[in-house]
Chain A
Amino acid sequence: MPAHHPSEALLLDYAAGDLREPAGLVVATHLALCPECRRHVGLLEAVGGALLETLPVEDLPADASTRGAAALLARAAATDGAAVGASPPPRFDAETCRLVPEPLRSHLGVNLKDIAWRKVARGLDTHELAAAANGFRTRLLRIGPGAAIPRHGHGGSESVLVLDGGFSDEHGHYARGDLALSDAETVHRPVADPDGDCLCLIVVEGGVRFAGALGRLLNLFARY
């Protein structure tokens, strides 16, 4: 069971449909790994359902309902059969299925072993994911055993969801399903656990800023 969760405010944003796609992807993938947050979101969606009933509108009169429903079903029947032929969902290998839950798996679209990783630094590889929304970068991050990401701050918000392995920073230890949230005030130096690769989904809004002399160099060269 994960120990680090999205805030209630973030879960509310997700349930209400207020998150852009990259942030929604992080929350939904956490939900797949966290029954407790799934229950929270279930409650929040019930709040949405209850609010729907508070809107000041009347039911349609019975004859209008009957006519409206019949017209809709007639139109639908006319277009039924036209919509088939969507491509079958891709098949994933066992490791990808085990480590990458939906909706991230479909979003990734390939097996983990077939990812063309881009090496950023020793022990640090990234893979860019497509996710609509300006101002966000959505990536998978693979950190080698014991490798450290230099101390850095953030231009905006950063969400890191651990999919495999784990890492530690000044604020705690993060394992599969845990969500590490940073904002503009957070500065940290994540270090991967020594016993294997750490695989994460990371969404950054507004970029990162490395600290220190090495960091200034990284700011120039690394599109971390």
Chain B
Amino acid sequence: MLADAESLRTDRERRFVDLIARVARDRDRDAFAALFGHFTPRVKAYLMRLGADDGSADELAQEVMLTVWRRADAFDPTLAGVGTWIFTIARNKRIDRVRRERRPELDPDDPALTPDPPAGADRTVEAAEAGGRLRRAIATLPAEQRELLVMAFFEDKSHRAIAATTRLPLGTVKSRIRLALGRLRSSLEEA
């Protein structure tokens, strides 16, 4: 059953949240080892998809996991899932290291930040559940839309570069991205 597979994924995601909490609170090395075993190969594969060789992908993946260990207390389960948080760390480290650029990131505690409106009743689903729903929604996207997301995330290609590579008009790339994101967003809003 789809629903069962989804609740299994949600359970697993909740387990990751619990592991991060144990790392943050108790500096629990067993909890960290469990996260290390799951995420290190994925982060490494991500970096290799983006062109890193085996050695430097390995080294950078270790650095990402070290940041997870050191910054576990900064993880906020109400904002994002564990996989999402680790993805953003890997993305930023890669930009710092490979491009030798600073990743411009806003500071959520900046007093100049325009604050979020109060959360309404339509607040989207729990981050732990969102991950599972998104994965299912991505799997059911039309291939031409999924391919664009994969190129954006795994091939370091801006939408302009995607248009150039695929020889699609820029407008077509933009409208496919809009369609894909609309479907993903509504997958999170279904009851």
Which residues of A line the B interface, CB within 8 A? 1, 7-10, 12-13, 16-21, 24-25, 27-29, 31-35, 38-40, 42-62, 64-66, 68-70, 72-73, 76, 97-103, 105, 107, 132-133, 177
Shortest CB-to-CB span from B136 to chain A, Å, is 9
Q: Is the CB of B79 within 8 A of A102?
A: no
Q: Is the CB of A24 within 8 A of B37?
A: no
Q: Is the CB of B153 within 8 A of A47?
A: yes
Known: A16-B91, A21-B101. Is A72-B66 also a contact (CB below 8 A)? yes
Count the B residues whose beta carbon is within 8 Å of the partner chain — how many? 77
Q: Is the CB of B62 within 8 A of A72?
A: yes
Residue numbers in A under 8 Å from B188 (CB-CB): 43
**What sequence of 0s and 1s flags, for each residue 147-191 of chain B, a beta carbon within 8 Å of any chain A beta carbon?**
001101110111101000000000001100110010011001000
Q: How far is the CA of A27 from the CA of B88 in the complex (A)?
A: 16
Residue numbers in B under 8 Å from A56 (CB-CB): 45
Instruction: Name the residue on B nearest A46 (C-beta).
Output: B84
Q: Which of B106, B112, B127 contacts A98 (CB 8 A)?
A: B112
CB < 8 Å A-B pair total: 213
Residue numbers in A under 8 Å from B86 (CB-CB): 49, 52
Q: Which of A34, A43, A58 contacts B184 (CB 8 A)?
A: A43
Secondary structure of the B contact surface, majority rule: helix
Q: Which of A12, A20, A60 contacts B36 (CB 8 A)?
A: A60
Q: Is the CB of A46 within 8 A of B134?
A: yes
Q: Which of B52-89 contact A (CB under 8 A)?
A: 62, 65-66, 69-70, 79-81, 83-88
Residue numbers in B under 8 Å from A48 (CB-CB): 84, 87-88, 91, 153
Residue numbers in A under 8 Å from B3 (CB-CB): none
Shortest CB-to-CB span from B100 to chain A, Å, is 7
Q: How far is the CA of A39 from the CA of B84 in the complex (A)?
A: 14
Pairs across A and B, CB under 8 Å, 19 listed: A9-B178, A12-B149, A21-B101, A21-B104, A28-B106, A38-B106, A42-B79, A43-B181, A46-B84, A50-B83, A52-B83, A57-B44, A65-B37, A68-B37, A68-B40, A69-B36, A76-B66, A97-B111, A132-B99
